[in-house]
Structure 1
Amino acid sequence: MQDGHVNRIFFRFFVLVMLSITAATFVIYFAFSRLFGDPLDDIARRQAAAQIFLLEQYVDKAATDDWLTRLNNVREVSEVRYDLIALGEARSALPDSRRAALDRGEIVLDPSSRSFYRRVDLEGERYIGSHEEVLRAQNLPVDVKQALIMEALRYIIVAVALLVPIALWSRSHWQGLQSLSRVADEFGSGKLTARSQMKPSASIYPLAERINHMADRIEDLLEAQKSLLHSVSHELRTPIARLEFALELLDARAKDPDLSRRIGAMEGDLRELNSLVNELLDMSKLESARNLQAELAELAPVLRGCTQMLPPSPQQLDCTVPDDLGELEIDARLLARAVCNLLRNAQKYAAGRIVLSASRSDGAVEIAVDDDGPGIPDEEREKIFDPFYRLDRSRDRATGGFGLGLSIARKAVALHGGSLRAEGSPLGGARFVITLPV
């Protein structure tokens, strides 16, 4: 997923560069058209330079009474067709933007028809009525298509010259980001020793170094937290065992019924504290995938076995697990612990019915635990998976617990590469859904 995201980033960057080059091409064209005239006219004028030179330097240099003679001489030897047409006809053949230039006696090119127009003169000096006629030259050696291809080729060469260094520069960034993505995936999956091995000459080496420093700090903090949790939990067991032994002795010697009841309550508190220590130790063992002992196992027997591990309860427990769930690579003990935690949670809150179900699709297996209890508000369906989080309702205080069961279940499922979420149940209460990849 991370690789695909990085690929999309660079694909968008490439598209952005191409669009920028295309936009720059149009901006250049329109800017030059506005400042220096249409580039196509300039191309056509260069291609027709010989004919224009012949007209200006040979025909126009003739004496007044010899002008038509020289024009006829040019007609005989040139493949270009020269005609004299009325000024009104020429004006109608040209767009409004070019008529003013024609009126001023300038040569007006029409690349689309491969021709140019120019008035004979402005004062009628060459022959009678010459100021009312226009010289039209047709079949000029003008090939705008070839010129456009040449211009396009120029822009393509410029674009390639820009894209090659950009591509080389981007490739080094892309490889670096791919490496960082893999490190992030490994680190996120619980491999806290994952680090980026990048040369100092790499373009994103400073970023990789900062990420490595961050990973070192996170690993130190998590290891310190895990070590503290594990050490404190182990150290608590010794005074708990001493207190249990002392209370048993005290209870054996107590003759006052009221004192015996108080001792019994204290023993209950100690059992609860001992249970909390055990759950804290379990939490500390689920911080890394290294504790996962996965192997191929049939899923259906594992789920059915969870129903046999529950304490007796007045609720009806239905197990609708099909036989065709197939095999999955799982830690059967750990997954069973997660499902049992969900079932025990359902026992606390269900009014009369609990359902354990499972189904398999092409890409995943879903395991669901439903109950007909009071349910969980939408805004708290994520918070309940936080350690020690308890819903602020009287039913929570009555059922007890430490708020670690659901957190342990989610961590156990996450180590299998799956997810655990809370939903509303068709039974009216809460539904917990485990999704495991196939």
Structure 2
Amino acid sequence: MTGTDPGELAEKERNHGLARSLFRVSLPRWRGGRYSLSKLFFNFYLLAMGSFVAIAFTADFVISTAQRGITDDYARRFMRGTITLIEDELARQPRSTWPHKIKQIDDKFSYRLGIVERITLDRTLTPYQVDKLDAGDIAIDHDGDIMYHRLGTSSQVLVVGPLASNRNPELKDRLPLELRLRLLTWSLTGLIFGIALWFWVRPVWRDLESLRQTARDLGDGDFEARSPPARSQLFSSLSETMNSMAERVQQLLATHRELSCGISHELRTPIARMRFALEMLAETDELAERQRLWAMMEDDLDELDHLIDTSLTYARFEREAPEPHFSSVRFAEWLTQEVDSVRLLGRKLSVTVDTGKLPENLNVDLDRKAMPYALRNLLRNAFKYASQQIRVSAEMIDDRILIHVDDDGIGIPPAEREHIFSAFTRLDRSRDRATGGYGLGLAIARRVLELHGGSATADAAPLGGARFTLCWKAHQ
């Protein structure tokens, strides 16, 4: 491909490889959307419905067990009168005629009646039921369908039931009818639950598909891809997080590309000058000329060192904003000391500090490590372009602190005042060795102010040149 830098192609490939490694980790390989959706639905349906049925049957068993005693007591009270009447009728007859008499009475009832010997019930009834039987009470079997009552002090026992006998078709069909009703109820419940679950799972699946497609696009190098708004609340935060991550990765890759291109461009000039100086050094024997060339190379080495340090600082701010550590300072004294620390760099320039508009003994919270970096970068920028004087002033408007750095240079055109805060951006008139730089100082100053919740701006200065302003909310 003609006209394409091989280094740029390699850089793009590395960026794409980084993105693929970021977005393809732990991504499930779902295939066949409809089949997978059905599988997800049925798995979830069986799990949820099975759990629901198990809980329902467990609750029904617990409730039935708890109510068994209440039901048995109610049945005793209900049948006590009938059993007493049968017992009184038998008491009027000789004991030898009881079996014949009970058959006559049995024909008049819808359930069976019978007489058995007491000793035959020891294996049929529990010890608790036997005790109730011997005490003259009514004993009910475990199923609650047969009742036993001892006839006086005799060894014979009246047996009433089973209550659901062949003589009573309504009672006989009661259990199958109840079973059919339960099956119908559970079928309707399962159907309604399945329909509701389908309408819940479908948007969830669509959100999963959207997230998967977005991750695949990002992994393939399409850094503009974003996940659409989630249809379900379950994935809304995940969708926002993925989009935020995509924007962050895109920003990091852009910063990486910007730094790589910018630094490679900036390195060419001092390296070329050093190579030229070395060639000249080898061809001259004059001491003065050799010293001049050595001084030039030392300046170039200092420039390279400053470029690396500034680039690392900018990369650190771009990679992740450091946590600011605020501390209270006496603001007027702090500002004066910071200007004095770099005043010598201004050489013959007149540098003044005006804090007269500040409240007396004003204390302000700021990051004492980051904020000086921003202020010094503005001062270094002013040193490059000022003709005779630089004025640093501060004022407080409402609850915001403003620091102005004014110079009497040629100023900045209005159309370029915002653009100069971008990294590696310099105006055409600055591209010479005297007023050079790398276009990173102002970008770093803005990042520092963003850490403080403020801003860095450029405007026209009252002195006729450029005014740079740092503004942030004061926490006194």
Q: TM class, shorter-chain normalised?
A: 0.3 to 0.5
TM-score under structure 2 length normalisation: 0.42
TM-score under structure 1 length normalisation: 0.46
Q: Greater Rg, structure 1 or structure 2?
A: 2
